[in-house]
Amino acid sequence: MTSTVVAGVDGSPESTAAAQWAAEEAGRRGASLRLVHAWPWLTDGVAAYAEPDDLPAAAQRTLAEAAEAVRRGHPELAVHTDAVLDAPVDGLVAAAAEAELLVLGSRGRGGFAGLLLGSVSMAVAGRSGTPVVVVRETGQGHRPSGEVVVGVDAHAPEEEVLDFAFREAALRGARVRAVHGWDLSPLFGYAGGAVPAGEVDQLEALEAKLLSLALAGPRERHPAVEVVEDVRLGAARGLVEASAGAGLVVVGRRRRPVEFGPRLGGVAHAALHHAEAPVAVVPHG
């Protein structure tokens, strides 16, 4: 059975960039591409700016234009379109349930117009059982040769997240940069004054050993993938800094059994807002 990459489209430049990114990924995997347009008003005809009968036609036009643009650059790719009769978050999460990857556009900081707002992409990334890649239009073109940067908590590494990053790197012929960010204990602040440099070096050496141990399993399972171990002060800041020039940034998100409460941790949230490369959010646990 052929695998599928799903991309959400709404006619915005950001979703166009997401569709093109998804097409590259589908081609790389030998998968088909499914373009999905989710509109809640398709079910009840409520919209202030259009006649109810116009909405399905408008959705189909959006999909047709996106598919045509993709086929021009990827004539060999199997492209399917689907208008989902649901709210954007619910519709996209459901559409990606059986897919290998879900790709969304985001306006990033301060965007408010369009269907796939940053808030929608964030919500989908926090709920989807499928890995979600969020791509912005500006500054995040496809960099097939760029590193795959993965955030690693060396104290509690997640094998699902690491294996996803290593597989992505293998598909691209790229190396993995495993970034483990760590912070000084608050106890150092209570002592007053600067922390002795020698003590910081010792702590960093310990964190580096923990990172090496965390990567032992993925390295054994993916021996052909080159790995750079990168230990930095500050988990979120270190990952964002490492994203410059990367082809993809990979972060984890714990699956939650309940519907309420925050769904994305601080590192994933920071990466989605500030990373200089597309960000993949991989559910685990």
Residue 16: which residues within 8 A CB-CB, separation 6 or more? 9, 66, 69, 105, 137
240-261: per-residue pLDDT in tens? Answer: 999 998 999 999 999 875 554 4
Q: Name the residue among 279, 161, 183, 170 with its Cα closest to residue 227.
A: 170
pLDDT tens sequence across 73-88: 999 999 999 988 888 8
Q: Is residue 147's pLDDT more than 50?
A: yes
Helix or strand run (H / E) with residue 140: none
Q: Find the mean pLDDT for residues 1-21.
A: 90
Q: What is the per-residue pLDDT across 157-210, written as a single tens digit (0 to 9) for each?
A: 999 999 999 999 999 999 999 999 988 765 555 445 566 667 778 888 999 999
Q: What angle separates helix 54-73 from helix 13-29, to the nearest 10 degrees?
A: 50
Q: What is the pLDDT of residue 113?
A: 37
Domains parsed from the chain with CATH numbers: 4-135 (3.40.50.620), 148-284 (3.40.50.12370)
The pLDDT of residue 142 = 54
Instruction: Look up the pTM and report it.
Output: 0.86
Q: Can you give the pLDDT at residue 144?
A: 53
Q: For residue range 12-40, what is the model confidence (pLDDT) as tens digits?
A: 888 899 999 999 999 999 999 999 998 76
> Would you give the DSSP letter of residue 86?
S
Strands (E) located in 100-147: 101-105, 132-135
Report pLDDT digits (tens) over 40-58.
Answer: 654 444 444 455 455 577 7
Q: How confident is the model at residue 108 (pLDDT cuts 50, 70, 90)?
A: very low
Tally of CA atoms within 13 A in the half-sphere of 160 that contains its CB: 14
The radius of gyration computed from the CA coordinates of the chain, to the nearest angstrom, equals 20
Instruction: Of 124-128, 146-150, 199-203, give the lowest mean pLDDT range.
Output: 199-203
**What pLDDT is stored for residue 106 in this prediction?**
80
User: Predicted confidence band at 6 (pLDDT cuts at 50, 70, 90)?
Assistant: very high
